[in-house]
Amino acid sequence: MRFNNIQVLRIFAAVGVVVFHLGCHGPALIGIGSPRLKFPLFAGFPVPLFFAVSGFVLTQAIQTASPGRFLLARFLRLYPGYWLALAGMLLLMRLRVFTEHHRWMSYFTNWTTVTLWPAGEGRVLYFLSVEWSLVYEVFLSVSVAALSLGRRRSIPVLAFLWLSAIVLKIVVWPEAFSEQFPRWSTIGLSALNAPFLLGVISFALRKADIRWAMLVAPIVLTSLALGSTVLMSLEQVWLCWGVAGAGAVWLAVKLPQLADRNVLVRLGDCTYGLFLFHAPLLFAVLYPASRLGGYGRVEVLWLAAAVAIVGGLLFGRMEAALHSRLRPIAKKPLPHLSAKRFIRLMQRAKS
């Protein structure tokens, strides 16, 4: 079953990421911005919300798919769009749309950039400003497949135990392992996994009575307020936002669903592309504007926002069309290679 209300959460999260990056790059490139664009609700909550949505959606998807088919579907969902966005960004860099420094940086792309391998900070170059979150998405997709090797009903229980280990780590060893650019040796206990795991738990609670919304809604608002206004560590903030994100997902599932034709529902299919390609579009406006006399002009800032959102959604529509063509591959029967056939193939190779 598809929950259309979740599409609205995706739109909110994607636009929030655009607003945050506008608040970061506007002052740096054209000398103008607004502190409101860096408000924590925009600056931090969108990505935890994305993770919570992924936790719910991936747990739902693994219920009816084998681990291998699930991973193939996740590969087709994450990588083709990312590679397309990366190719577009590298093209803009080599055409000198940004700076000469960017052109030279484009030649240092390597396999860790292409594969989203968790190599750690300083060991890989990223260009789209969002790759770190995709590294976690890939890791968590593999983790869901691994957790499903037993009984699928036990996935939320295992997620709760994993979350408990992270909370214990935060208490005993605060600020350890919670790196934005993780390594394989640290990513498992990163507090940045917490929203995803809470999203998995929200899937287990999806059939709870709607009357629990009277309790869940205040928890969501309180968690947002704590994460946005109270001075806490990054790990504690991500726990708060994880609770808020998982609660928002639960409410979106329990409330009456929007129609398939609703504009927000249809735009929700384009949010992955918007998430991927908004930063290159922002740069494509801000860098030339800074060279052509647009420094300090607020209209340039809003032009960049419009280009990033509209252009990002158009890119997202193209990415969604690509994915719709690739998605049937994950539903085709996977080839079965028996031991006898494997031996025959090896004998033919030797001959």
DSSP 129: S
- Determine the distance from the C-alpha atom of residue 64 to the mean position of all C-alpha atoms in its chain, rounded to a whole number: 23
Amino acid at 309: I
Long-range pairs of 172-177 with CB within 8 A, sequence gap ≥ 24: 174/233, 174/235, 175/233, 175/234, 175/235
- Among the ranges given (16-30, 32-46, 48-62, 135-149), the one the predictor scored with the smallest mean pLDDT: 32-46
30: β partners: none
- pLDDT, position 53: 97
Residue-wise pLDDT for 163-201, tens only, equals 999 999 999 999 888 888 999 889 999 999 999 999 999
Structure tokens at 291: 């060279």
What distance in Å separates the CA atoms of residue 349 and residue 343, rounded to the nearest whole number? 10
Contact 242, 48 (CB under 8 A): yes
Contact 270, 317 (CB under 8 A): yes
Please, which residues have CB within 8 angstroms of residue 300's CB and are 6 or more apart in sequence? 30, 32, 285, 286, 289, 294
Q: Where are the domains of the chain?
A: 5-350
Q: How confident is the model at residue 82 (pLDDT cuts 50, 70, 90)?
A: very high
